[in-house]
Structure 1
Amino acid sequence: MLEQILCIDDDPIALLLSKKVIAKSGFSDEVITAQNGEEALSYFNSLKYNTTKPVKKPQLIFLDLNMPVMGGWEFLDHFTAADYDEFNSVSVIVLSSTINPEDLDKAKKYPIIIDFLSKPITIQMLEYLKSRIEL
């Protein structure tokens, strides 16, 4: 079981569903959410500059690609830059409502992306991911 997962998606229903499925499956102790890439980067900045207590960082990110403010690709460009080196052990699963072949090819350029799956998160999907991630 993972300690913490971050779900980044602009759809509140998708976030709620993700939290419920992850909790039901026992895949993670805690699910935190962000509604776009900018909100997620703010969260990582708060972890980065937190000096008051030990930092618990997400071990896995479920990332939507198409979001307002800052989409998934833009988030990845920032997140994989040197400013966020201390988080480079966090793996990313891209969750998208459409699986575009161009997006699949683009995802291969980011070493932190370990899979590209179709929405929504299901218990079967999490069982599959358990076999891919060391839990």
Structure 2
Amino acid sequence: MGYKVCLLIDDNYIDNFVTRRILEGSNFAEKVVVQQSATDAIQAIREGELKPDVIFLDLRMPLMDGFEFLQEYDKLKTEQKSAAKIFMLSSSLDPIDVKRSNQNKYITQFIHKPLTQKVLEDLNA
């Protein structure tokens, strides 16, 4: 596995609960941090409070969606970004969302919710 800090950004409490349990149960990362707001997450990264190795990012959220988060992420200084792997984790079935994710330089992979143990194993394969 090898990740130190995994950041989960999703406004849905139930999704966060389930995803966090899967991540912690698989020892995917030493620490799993949950942010229910992309705005709060980008602020924590900008201020140096968070330096995630890997990010699971929801697409559809109020105030700031996943793509808006990525626009703000792009503006961060290089040392703030820490070359984190970013996985778009979404229930969206819209092919445009998948295409935009695949074309984004920060997105490693688009993953359909829910995150499963099998998907995590495939990510580490």
Using structure 2 for the length normalisation, give the TM-score.
0.91
The answer to whether the Cα contact below 8 Å between 2:91 and 2:113 also exists between their aligned partners in 1 is yes
RMSD: 1.5
Q: Does 1:76 align with 2:70?
A: yes
**Which residue does the alignment assign to 2:107?**
113
Unpaired runs of at least 5, structure 2: none
The CA distance in 1 between the partners of 2:94 and 2:42, in whole Å, is 25
Alignment of 1:82-97 (within 5 A): 83-86=76-79, 87=81, 89-97=83-91
The CA distance in 1 between the partners of 2:121 and 2:4, in whole Å, is 16
**Which residue does the alignment assign to 1:104?**
98
Q: How many residues align?
A: 123
Alignment of 1:18-29 (within 5 A): 18-29=19-30
Once the two structures are TM-superposed, the CA of residue 97 in structure 1 deviates from its matched residue by 0.7
Query: What CA deviation, in whole Å up to 9, does each residue of 1:39-75 have, x standing for no partner?
Result: 111110221xx6xxxxx62111000010011111100
Query: Relative to 1, partners in 2 of residues 1:15 and 1:27: Cα closer, same or farther, differing over 3 Å?
Result: same
**Which protein has the larger Cα radius of gyration, Structure 1 or Structure 2?**
1
**Which residue does the alignment assign to 1:53?**
none
Once the two structures are TM-superposed, the CA of residue 36 in structure 1 deviates from its matched residue by 2.0
Unpaired runs of at least 5, structure 1: 51-55
Using structure 1 for the length normalisation, give the TM-score.
0.84
Identity of aligned residues (%): 32
The CA distance in 1 between the partners of 2:17 and 2:57, in whole Å, is 14
Report the 3-state secondary structure (helix = DSSP H, G, I; strand = E; otherwise coil) of the residue aligned with 1:116. Answer: strand
The answer to whether the Cα contact below 8 Å between 2:52 and 2:82 also exists between their aligned partners in 1 is no
Give the letter aligned to residue 107 of structure 1. Answer: S
